[in-house]
Chain A
């Protein structure tokens, strides 16, 4: 097996002095792997994800992303962020820029790409999430599902090797969840490494290579989805699954 593209090695993180949010995290992610992370709120799953592109910093242990170790080194952080795209629960589109400007911002300013080339690339990504006709609208003129698809396209404009999804459907109206999941499923079939914090268990079943269950800052259990859902090993996992799948 080749070296993992993401490697957590005994990673620990605290908020303030007392809240131990990540505890001895050991996790290797292979290139192209699709991982779903679930767990109760406050279990550290979003924090784990946000450590990967250094939106949060870990205090102990080593975290290596595509051969670059994350530390205070600004160059390392920049290098990692160019390889990692992120999609947020609240979309976080830039409301003062049009959809097109949201997409071309990073390629033009970080990638130093000429405007025309950046726009061509943006259109390609917008077509990929089936929303190219909205390119010249402002984000707030779109529905929630459309906004989240724009956010996915924006992250893809960096041609990342890794995509992080932090509860991408939790802020959406029920009617719009599927249009976003469909885009994510399509993406999952294209070889990109994906880590997704979500409670959409149907999505986990159909696309994940591995499902990880976290509680109180620890990885409690991880397994392939069939085994994870059919035969959870840990009592805490069974309890959690019974609560979210019961109805």
Chain B
């Protein structure tokens, strides 16, 4: 045999460019006749409707809090004046006007904590302590009754602070509970398993609105008069239990995707049950279901709007409160709803971007 030598061929670039703007347009907008047609239809629709929308929302809109000018512009221009006139009530609900710096400060504290909690390097034991401190500060600022601050009952709390507080506390309390329930559903012990299954199936079989209704109206009937906890607490417990049931099933989905070998390896290394769950199973299981978890977090944030039915005026409820009682501004509810839509969207979009970022971070160990 002759001495054939293996010679490797130098790598060279692909013959057709696939990256950059023009290749993108060609591939995504003009790939074949149906997609060219679809592109043209979308452009035509945009040309037909966008200018009108632009005129209504911006060009012909009334920005001053002037009800007469708004009336005159009806049908041709939006009345953003309703927002400039009523934003204090929309955002803070029935909270006493001159004390509204308190919910503002309390909410900023809570938002700051939420943002800090998103940073991976802050995930340390002291963060839990910080949560306790900030929640206490939030409640003290809102409730008052100390250091010369007037006392404000929780029935007067409302608007965005209430929305954020219910969502944040609901999520933060529901998450650990859901992990325990998910682990419990896979427990070797029949009693624990049954309790967890019954809990999840019971809560999932009922709409949130009836859970809130029960927490608010039914629960106090079974308590001695005056002994029932504050309605806010009862509602928060309702939201927490509700969210945890759904979260538990999402988390369980992640737990089931972990190969048995992972647990066996941990056991063979001498790790106990809780160590195995905490160090090996949960980090991988939760990373796998980040999109599902965030789905439920976003759902909880928006579902807080249902607490209106038990007379807690969070953001959506506060909007009705602001406009229903005022005949001058009532016709401009649409603009009011667009305003709070923007607020809801800003929060939900931030949560969804954070979830994408987390997914990317967690994908590091999977990249080759």
For B262, the chain A residues whose CB sits under 8 A away are 92, 94
Q: Among the listed A53, A55, A94, A98, which residue makes an inter-chain contact with B280, where contact means beta carbons less than 8 Å apart? A: A94
Digit string of A62-101 for contact with B (CB within 8 Å is 1, else 0)?
Answer: 0000000000000000100110111010101111111000
In the assembled complex, the CB of B362 is this many whole angstroms from the nearest CB of chain A, namely 8
A141 engages B367 (CB within 8 Å): yes
Question: Is A45 part of the contact surface with B, judged by Cβ < 8 Å?
Answer: no
Digit string of B254-281 for contact with A (CB within 8 Å is 1, else 0)?
Answer: 0000010110111111111001000110
B265 engages A84 (CB within 8 Å): no
299-318 of chain B: CB within 8 A of chain A: none
B269 engages A95 (CB within 8 Å): no
B365 engages A81 (CB within 8 Å): no
Q: Among the listed B265, B270, B272, B366, which residue makes an inter-chain contact with A94, where contact means beta carbons less than 8 Å apart? A: B265
Bound-state CA distance A36–B308 (Å) is 71
Q: Count how many pairs of residues, one from A and one from B, have CB atoms less than 8 Å apart in the complex.
A: 70
Q: Among the listed B270, B284, B368, which residue makes an inter-chain contact with A81, where contact means beta carbons less than 8 Å apart? A: B270
Question: Is A140 part of the contact surface with B, judged by Cβ < 8 Å?
Answer: yes
B269 engages A158 (CB within 8 Å): yes
B365 engages A95 (CB within 8 Å): yes
In the assembled complex, the CB of B358 is this many whole angstroms from the nearest CB of chain A, namely 13
Q: Among the listed B261, B269, B365, which residue makes an inter-chain contact with A106, where contact means beta carbons less than 8 Å apart? A: B269
For A54, the chain B residues whose CB sits under 8 A away are 267
In the assembled complex, the CB of A138 is this many whole angstroms from the nearest CB of chain B, namely 4
Bound-state CA distance A98–B283 (Å) is 13
Question: Is B14 part of the contact surface with A, judged by Cβ < 8 Å?
Answer: no
In the assembled complex, the CB of A102 is this many whole angstroms from the nearest CB of chain B, namely 9
Bound-state CA distance A96–B259 (Å) is 13
B264 engages A88 (CB within 8 Å): yes
Question: Is A58 part of the contact surface with B, judged by Cβ < 8 Å?
Answer: no
In the assembled complex, the CB of A30 is this many whole angstroms from the nearest CB of chain B, namely 22
Bound-state CA distance A35–B268 (Å) is 20
Question: Is B290 part of the contact surface with A, judged by Cβ < 8 Å?
Answer: no
Q: Among the listed A81, A85, A97, which residue makes an inter-chain contact with B267, where contact means beta carbons less than 8 Å apart? A: A81
For A78, the chain B residues whose CB sits under 8 A away are 270, 272
Question: Is B287 part of the contact surface with A, judged by Cβ < 8 Å?
Answer: yes
Q: Among the listed A85, A93, A95, A139, which residue makes an inter-chain contact with B268, where contact means beta carbons less than 8 Å apart? A: A85
132-148 of chain A: CB within 8 A of chain B: 138-141
Question: Is A129 part of the contact surface with B, judged by Cβ < 8 Å?
Answer: no
Q: Which residue of A is nearest B364, CB measured?
A: A138
B270 engages A82 (CB within 8 Å): yes
In the assembled complex, the CB of A8 is this many whole angstroms from the nearest CB of chain B, namely 19
Contacts known (A90-B261, A92-B261, A96-B284); A138 close to B365, Cβ less than 8 A: yes
For A139, the chain B residues whose CB sits under 8 A away are 365
Bound-state CA distance A140–B283 (Å) is 16
Question: Is A155 part of the contact surface with B, judged by Cβ < 8 Å?
Answer: yes
In the assembled complex, the CB of A83 is this many whole angstroms from the nearest CB of chain B, namely 9
For A98, the chain B residues whose CB sits under 8 A away are 365
A110 engages B264 (CB within 8 Å): no
A96 engages B365 (CB within 8 Å): yes
Bound-state CA distance A154–B364 (Å) is 22
For B266, the chain A residues whose CB sits under 8 A away are 94
Bound-state CA distance A81–B259 (Å) is 21
For A94, the chain B residues whose CB sits under 8 A away are 262, 265-266, 280, 284
Between B259, B287, B365, the greatest number of chain A beta carbons within 10 A of the residue's beta carbon is seen for B365
Digit string of A26-50 for contact with B (CB within 8 Å is 1, else 0)?
Answer: 0000000000000000000000000
In the assembled complex, the CB of A141 is this many whole angstroms from the nearest CB of chain B, namely 5
Q: Which residue of B is nearest A157, CB measured?
A: B269
B268 engages A53 (CB within 8 Å): yes
In the assembled complex, the CB of A146 is this many whole angstroms from the nearest CB of chain B, namely 12
For B365, the chain A residues whose CB sits under 8 A away are 95-98, 138-140
Question: Is A19 part of the contact surface with B, judged by Cβ < 8 Å?
Answer: no
For B362, the chain A residues whose CB sits under 8 A away are 96
Q: Among the listed B265, B275, B279, B287, which residue makes an inter-chain contact with A88, where contact means beta carbons less than 8 Å apart? A: B265
Contacts known (A92-B262, A96-B365, A158-B269); A109 close to B283, Cβ less than 8 A: no
Q: Among the listed B271, B287, B366, which residue makes an inter-chain contact with A109, where contact means beta carbons less than 8 Å apart? A: B271
Bound-state CA distance A97–B264 (Å) is 16
In the assembled complex, the CB of B303 is this many whole angstroms from the nearest CB of chain A, namely 32
A110 engages B269 (CB within 8 Å): yes
For B283, the chain A residues whose CB sits under 8 A away are 96
In the assembled complex, the CB of A235 is this many whole angstroms from the nearest CB of chain B, namely 35
- Can you list 14 residue pairs at the A/B interface with Cβ under 8 Å? A53-B268, A81-B267, A81-B270, A88-B264, A90-B259, A92-B264, A96-B284, A97-B365, A105-B269, A106-B269, A106-B270, A106-B271, A140-B368, A154-B269
Of all A-B residue pairs in the complex, the 4 with the closest CB atoms, nearest first, are A92-B265, A106-B269, A92-B261, A86-B268
Interface residues of B (CB under 8 A from A): 259, 261-262, 264-272, 275, 279-280, 283-284, 287, 362, 364-368
Known: A81-B267, A97-B365, A109-B275. 8 other contacts (CB 8 A): A54-B267, A88-B261, A90-B261, A92-B264, A105-B271, A141-B367, A141-B368, A158-B269
